[in-house]
Structure 1
């Protein structure tokens, strides 16, 4: 009975983590540029019990000999699903969306004093003086250029154009181009090296070394045609499928109830055994 209770209790905690992941996906179904997480499970240690030492007695058996008794399951990895979300037209000139998977804007996070990555292209202009403004995210984090420096816009502007390669063109009232800067865009090749930092941002763990950083991300060149794919006046929606998440949530809850029921039955059986005279 103790084995049953141990197996069920081990699995209960892991299923709860899966429910937490699904709940986070559902909570961010309307978050711009959010990428869903998918929980992957694996078996814990399995014990082989050879209950039939005489192999001649198992002639014709189709399954492996012996009995395999597991000790539950564990959450092996929470993977970021990089699938492209649908695009929503906003007709706002500072709204931009990627049209390719795996590409992220680079922003500076003042809290961690490090470079972060986001798919949320809802940008704003933060005034620094009467003639200077800085391009920031909705949370106020500076948007970085290709040299990882904040993007400053000078003087009065009539229009801001952002082309598909990430060039930011500042148009003056007479139609001339006052500035031409490039957005800092990174392609994330191995998202499992990154972690969620809050505020729809991805970043490296504190103990990440330079080798893992280099393997995970690649800075893209705005002057190389076809590398970067951006659409202005649009935003990318999250790639969360609400119907699928609700189905996964119900399955996880049933699994949780099954494990809890197993513990309850094992406890009742132990009570019956202890009550025997």
Structure 2
């Protein structure tokens, strides 16, 4: 069989994968906190035909996908005015927990809301993690209520704010103000090891080399928290369409190699007639 046929087929396979990645990027251009991906190619194994004068005679056998990497560049910050919306300006991820399974995930999607019990949760009910007590010593689910209020005040919550360092400041209906908790951020050494789980969540945290424990925003290289804002997708539509066109042309060229190789094989078969 012609080696060019194998090379052409490998090109079709890999460029189809790249088209799939591009399509997913474009589909998520308006997804909060979405990180685009790119496909990296590498040449496949080369067949050595011989050695002439110290120079190897090698013919490649096509192309392979070496990696599909998520691009963790900063997305634009858009103001929403909703206090429970949080964006990260800089490095880091929010940590959220499934209260039923205790599984933890990382996310850059800060579109949180308050549930019926006052917990800060994602759209699917995962609870935001941080210092969950007024003394800022215990990691757990962040909640907006009067727990830990000075003097044991039992007044209801009138309002609250979350500052750039993640401090949750609560004001009660009797005028009492105190720090209820703090949003903490996690970071990893190798974000490309994170696995996308859907719903803007990442798993496989241990393999990515996380910090020993979540840290305060604006420390240890972590970014700041912006309340009343969301981080938009980092998909660059102009770049995606440009890559889409070049990938389409490369796919067409690969298809031409396959058809031409098929025609040559047909000619070889006809030599017997």
Report the TM-score, using the length of structure 1 for normalisation: 0.84
Other-structure match for 2:39:
39
Match of 2:225 among 222, 230, 251: 230
Determine if the alignment matches structure 1 residue 17 to structure 2 residue 2: no
Matches within 5 A, 1:1-277: 1-50=1-50, 53-54=52-53, 65-101=55-91, 103-109=92-98, 113-128=102-117, 133-146=118-131, 148-154=139-145, 156-177=156-177, 179-204=179-204, 212=207, 215-217=209-211, 219-222=213-216, 227-276=222-271, 277=273
Given that 2:14 and 2:65 are in contact with CA atoms closer than 8 Å, whether structure 1 keeps it comes out as yes
Once the two structures are overlaid, the 10-residue window that deviates more, 108-117 or 239-248, is 108-117
Cα deviation digits, residues 70-98 of structure 1 (max 9, x gap)? 11111111112111111111111111111
Q: CA deviation at 1:183?
A: 1.5
CA distance in 1, matches of 2:82, 2:103: 29
Instruction: Say which SS state the counterpart of residue 141 (structure 2) adopts.
Output: coil
Instruction: Say which SS state the counterpart of residue 161 (structure 1) adopts.
Output: strand
Q: CA deviation at 1:145?
A: 1.9
CA distance in 2, matches of 1:72, 1:2: 12
Given that 1:166 and 1:228 are in contact with CA atoms closer than 8 Å, whether structure 2 keeps it comes out as no
CA distance in 1, matches of 2:248, 2:219: 48
Superposition RMSD on alpha carbons, in Å?
A: 2.3
Cα deviation digits, residues 2-58 of structure 1 (max 9, x gap)? 31111211232122111111111111111111111111111110123347x357xxx
Cα deviation digits, residues 117-145 of structure 1 (max 9, x gap)? 001111101103xxxx2110122211122
Instruction: Say which SS state the counterpart of residue 7 (structure 1) adopts.
Output: helix
Q: CA deviation at 1:202?
A: 0.7
Equivalences, count: 256
CA spacing shift, 1:74–1:95, aligned 2, 3 Å:
same
Q: CA deviation at 1:68?
A: 2.8
Cα deviation digits, residues 211-253 of structure 1 (max 9, x gap)? x35x244534328768441111111111110010111111111
CA distance in 1, matches of 2:110, 2:4: 50
Given that 1:186 and 1:218 are in contact with CA atoms closer than 8 Å, whether structure 2 keeps it comes out as no
